[in-house]
Structure 1
Amino acid sequence: MLLALRALLPFSLALLFGCSSTETDTSTEGAAAGIALTETGAHAVTRSKVPFLWREQAYDASLHDSISIITIDQKLAEELTDAERAALGYVTTFIGSECDWDGKANPEFSNLKCKTLSALKLGYQCSIEHLGFLQHWFRNDQEVLIQLASCPRIPFTASSQQTFDEIYLTTQGDTINVWFSASGVNLPMNATWEWTEENIFLAQDDAISLVRTNKSEVIRSELKFDEGL
């Protein structure tokens, strides 16, 4: 059953997540060009809507076909301030990024490895390393702390899940903006959905707060497979 689900999900997710109406410059050279040091400001860095995550097509030998996979700008990830890591870590806590068990799932389900958290050096999903870091940075934001208390553990093989298509980061002084597009699928219900969202954070000293969220209308549709899949 697990192998069948592994085979089915990449096809369904590729159909759903593989296409984007936005043309994205995903080169690390372009990302680096958007980064410049500022003379003042708590975090002394400015980033002008640089791509942190995007999707690319890759051939899967086990499926004999190309599938859509998540790609992360590792160079940018290494340059992030802790406040930026906290902002991105919060956003990526609640939406999947090709999360899979590191080996076999242990009895506590505490070894779920996600691409975004790994790039941010935050350990396993919902681990002490992951949540401890976010709880420290968001310690003055009670709403975020309540959300983190319900940290989800959803592997990419789940029949109902959500995942990222793109993530962009903008930093201006103490303000951090994380914009993303995401999609969801529910195989038993033959349902898909997609939306975009902007999360704006204010960083002060060694703490950060979520000050505003702008979410687009959720577009829902029926999941349809091509004949022969």
Structure 2
Amino acid sequence: MKALLLLFLLLVSGCSTVETDTAIAEVASGIPLTETEAYTSANRKIRFLWREQVYDAGLQDSVSTIVIDQALADQLTDAERAALGYVVTFIGSACEWDGEANEELSNLKCRALTALDLGYQCSDQHLGFLQNWFRNDQDVLARLASCPRVPFTASSQQTFNEVYLTTQGDKIQVWFSASGVNVPMNVSWQWTEENDFLVQDDAISLVKVDQSEVVRGELGLEKGL
């Protein structure tokens, strides 16, 4: 089991190498980075999530690990939490069962949702918060109705490499790079995406999605692995 887990983590790490440089993120969004401590400025672009190589004593190896700026997460407005919460609903952030998976599969704990104080994946706390904030956006509500539950050990999965948040007045932008693997098909892919949101009073809407070309490749795994 440890060998299989290490394989998954190494695959994710390998797919993460192209899109993890901060300079790439700056070029993609066209908005310069502000100082990290300027959480309360009117116009800011801040890194919410990224990856670092961290040694795992159980696996006896360094693995690519998701890191989240919890200080930033604690200071977000509810509208910003809604924008980030929507984006992280559909891509993995080190999601794992809290203990054993229960019959309802309702105890999947994802690192990004936990940082945003939104509870388990697809829970009433998670979806109720998003459904309230996106109540005027029927397309988003329809997509939330198909909330996925994918643990990070799934043989086919997608995960984040970086996530940046920019707030300018009533506009919120979430830019991310992500990668995916499908072990049975021996394929990997990666892409970047920018989601633009508009805040109106106490509601938010998704107004634009700009996705890069998806770059695909082979994992190079031996048959029968």
Does the pair score TM above 0.5? Answer: yes
Q: How many percent identity over aligned positions?
A: 64
On the 8 A contact 2:15/2:190 being kept in 1, the answer is no
Matches within 5 A, 1:99-110: 99-110=95-106
Residue 139 in structure 1 maps to residue 135 in structure 2: yes
Q: State the shift of 1:125 in Å.
A: 0.1
Q: Structure 1 residues 171 and 23, CA, compared in 2 at 3 Å: closer, same or farther?
A: closer
User: CA separation in 2, counterparts of 1:225 and 1:30?
Assistant: 42
Residue 203 in structure 1 maps to residue 199 in structure 2: yes
User: CA separation in 2, counterparts of 1:70 and 1:21?
Assistant: 12
User: CA separation in 2, counterparts of 1:7 and 1:66?
Assistant: 9
Residue 53 in structure 1 maps to residue 52 in structure 2: no
On the 8 A contact 2:134/2:203 being kept in 1, the answer is yes
Aligned residues: 214
Long gaps (5+) in structure 2:
26-33
Compute the RMSD of aligned alpha carbons. Answer: 2.0
On the 8 A contact 1:117/1:124 being kept in 2, the answer is yes
Deviations 1:35-87 (A, max 9, x none): 41xxxxxxxxx242210001000011222211100000000000000000000
Matched residue, 1:179 = 175
Matched residue, 1:65 = 61
Amino acid aligned to 2:117: K
On the 8 A contact 1:18/1:67 being kept in 2, the answer is no
Q: State the shift of 1:30 in Å.
A: 3.8
Q: State the shift of 1:12 in Å.
A: 1.6
Q: Structure 1 residues 146 and 13, CA, compared in 2 at 3 Å: closer, same or farther?
A: same
Long gaps (5+) in structure 1:
37-45
Amino acid aligned to 1:32: E
Residue 185 of structure 2 aligns to a residue in which SS? Answer: coil
Deviations 1:111-154 (A, max 9, x none): 00000000000000000000000000000000000000000000
User: CA separation in 1, counterparts of 2:189 and 2:123?
Assistant: 29
